Chain A
Amino acid sequence: MINYLYDGTFSGLLSAIFDSYDRRDKAVSVYPEFLYSPDLFLDEYTVITDEQKALRVWKGLQHKLSDRWQLNMYMASFTENREEIQHLFDCIHYIFDSKQNISYNYGNEHVISVAQTARKVHKERHRIVEFLRFQHTVDGMFFAKIDPLYNVLPLVRNHFKNRYADQQWIIYDTKRRYGVYYDLHEVKEVTFNFDESLIDKKRNKLTENMVSQEEELYNNLWKDYYKSINIAERKNSKLQKQFLPQRFWKNLIEMNA
């Protein structure tokens, strides 16, 4: 038994796979740094993320996996749950150790776990695509803040780039304290500490002097719209919450009367 410690990135995890074969370690438990508390009774090995090694492992996987499953692997690597990371690690070993292509063997616990984790990450990504809201600022920029369960910014930036090609926008992850910025040409990662005083705490929006003149009108029009298309006779709040989890409500003006 040995604990592997890696930096939490996909390349880091692939490097860990490389090292585990190299060192012939069996029964490896993998931990991303942000989930690790040292265990005095177990051996510990710190993986150095090495893009070369990672690439070799990835090439090997590509050889054995369909496009769909390559995407599954990548998506699943965004999980921040220890057991799911372990399943991913074990699944990759399982794939390398088998002669046949076993990625569709849903009867195997690692394979099914990776498929499910990938789905969860995909769902979170989709929810950000759905429930992210831009506010139009005084300087003509569109600003949105998010706090997703997983670090999905790398997974959504292209969607927004394709869609909002003719407006400048920033999406900021308040949990992970970084954002992406589109300047009409390309999307760049930006790290800054968001100035909390720019947020009107009560309404969870940018303060009035930060937003453009017509922002208030379109906010009101959207709230009006939300109210008037409701069909009271069909009320079903449970269903609403299932599709629109309450943790997103704070960012949606229509949910805050």
Chain B
Amino acid sequence: MSSDRIREKLQILSAAAKYDVSCASSGVNRKNTSKGLGDAHACGICHSFTEDGRCIALLKLLYTNNCIYDCAFCISRRSNDIPRAAFTVDEIVDLTVNFYRRNYIEGLFLSSGIFRNADYTMERLTLIVKKLRLEHRFNGYIHLKTIPGASEDLIMEAGLYADRMSINLELPTEAALKQLAPEKSHETVKRELGLVHNKLVLYKDERKIIKSTPRFVPAGQSTQMVIGATKETDKDIMYTASAYYKGFSLKRVYYSGYIPVNDDSRMPAIGSQPPLLRENRLYQTDWLIRLYGFEVQEILNDANPHLDTDMDPKLSWALRNLHMFPVDVNTAAYEMILRVPGIGILSAKKIIQARRYGRLHVQQLQKIGISYNRAKFFITCADSPYALKDPDAVYIKKNIMDNSKSKYLKVPQNQLSLF
């Protein structure tokens, strides 16, 4: 291959792939058997970070940006006049292996525009992952997008080689999708998530009995929604997310702040800032639901359809529920300590372990690593100076805000700073 042409293809087909935000390489331990190339770690490894502070773990590529669909929010839609390209199977295999050998990446994230038809495209993608696994004995991480409308057989075959599969909801509601991407539907997404999910559960059960049952999408499935392109509330978004988490045991839902790429009066104009703070708040809520034991209805409901912008959702929830505080860290249950603003999972676990040796004091809590200036309004400990007899939400909020100016008044950190 000529080096100029391959460089050009890589530029086009990686630039078009960047709007898929997932870069996770985690969730699976894949061992390097028989001295092949690579392995995968459950904890996930980043090999670089972009200027916007996003982790680079995977080589994220489209097989082609040719597409028969015309989704209004997508740079690759067929009505756009842009340079088009397509890799060959070998080119993607080569890039993956050579990047991997130099420790640039954990593996491959492969997606594609829909070229000719769904099955043709899905077949190409499957060929690539199959070649990597079988011919190159590649044991690195592979995330494969399911092409909407592909046949069951192809999806099932791909699942034998991929670690994770995903298909994007694109927009939070079916109504919005109908409007902006009429060729797509949440029904298709459900069908394909469902196919993979059922097989996954089946194989897992079989593996318990028959050890040689092949692994099938061992790192599970994920999906993504673009937020801020259409007018949903945070409640709409999180209720959709929560339903998909429950219905298909998804590993992750990704929220991608819309970056306008096309002129379209129905969506924000080109040049508008992506809603990064909102995105951050949604991720925080997502964590509260997945890892902190909250129900989505506790955080978002008809009375509170939007997340606060000036404080994180855990603090908002606590201020709305002051009757549940203060929590005595020396006696309270783990689940309740986890709900205290300023205490994360690690600190909560340490508190539970440490208090067996004696009642904990302020200084020890600080050393354990809780954010005391935040937590102090919500807890009591052995020498707690704060006795919240008459807790006042406005007072607490003002106090916390004044003490954490730098963090909350500045423009959104494009990050997941979690509690």
Which residue numbers of A lie inside 8 Å of B, CB to CB?
Answer: 100, 102, 104-109, 112, 126, 129-136, 142, 144, 162-167, 214, 217-218, 220-222, 224-240, 242-244, 252, 254-255
Contacts and interface: CB of A to CB of B under 8 A. Distances in A.
Nearest to A237: B51
Given A236-B415, A252-B48, A224 B7 contact: yes
A233 to B, nearest CB: 5
A238 B49 CA distance: 11
Contact of A224 (B10, B18, B32, B98): B10
A107 to B, nearest CB: 4
Contact of B11 (A164, A222, A228): A228
A102 B358 CA distance: 11
Interface string B74-102: 00000000000000000000010011011
Interface string B239-280: 000000000000000000101000000000000011010000
Contact of A163 (B6, B38, B104, B274): B38
Nearest to A160: B103
B273 A233 contact: yes
Nearest to A255: B48
A226 B48 contact: yes
A109 B367 CA distance: 8
Contacts of B405: none
Interface in B153-185: none
B294 to A, nearest CB: 26
Contacts of A238: 53, 413
Give the contact-size bracket for chain B. 35 or more
Contact of A164 (B37, B52, B60, B357): B37
B37 A239 contact: no
B354 A230 contact: no
B345 interface: no
B67 interface: no
Nearest to B273: A233
B373 interface: no
B39 A142 contact: no
Interface string B32-65: 1001111100000111111111111001100000
A236 B414 contact: yes
A235 B48 contact: no
Interface of B: 3, 6-7, 10-11, 14-15, 17-19, 31-32, 35-39, 45-56, 59-60, 95, 98-99, 101-104, 137, 257, 259, 273-274, 276, 350-351, 353-354, 356-358, 360-361, 364, 367-368, 413-415
Given A130-B47, A163-B39, A228-B11, A239 B102 contact: no
B354 A107 contact: yes
Nearest to B347: A106
Given A105-B357, A233-B274, A134 B52 contact: no
Nearest to A107: B364
Contacts of B102: 133-136, 142, 218, 222
Contact of B3 (A107, A131, A217): A217
B364 A106 contact: yes
Given A233-B259, A236-B413, A130 B3 contact: no
Contacts of A108: 357
Contacts of A224: 7, 10-11, 14
Contact of A225 (B10, B274, B367): B10
Contacts of A214: 98
B14 A229 contact: yes
Given A107-B364, A230-B50, A234-B259, 19 more contacts: A105-B354, A105-B357, A106-B367, A131-B47, A133-B102, A134-B101, A163-B32, A164-B38, A165-B35, A166-B36, A166-B137, A221-B7, A224-B11, A228-B11, A229-B50, A229-B60, A231-B18, A239-B52, A240-B53
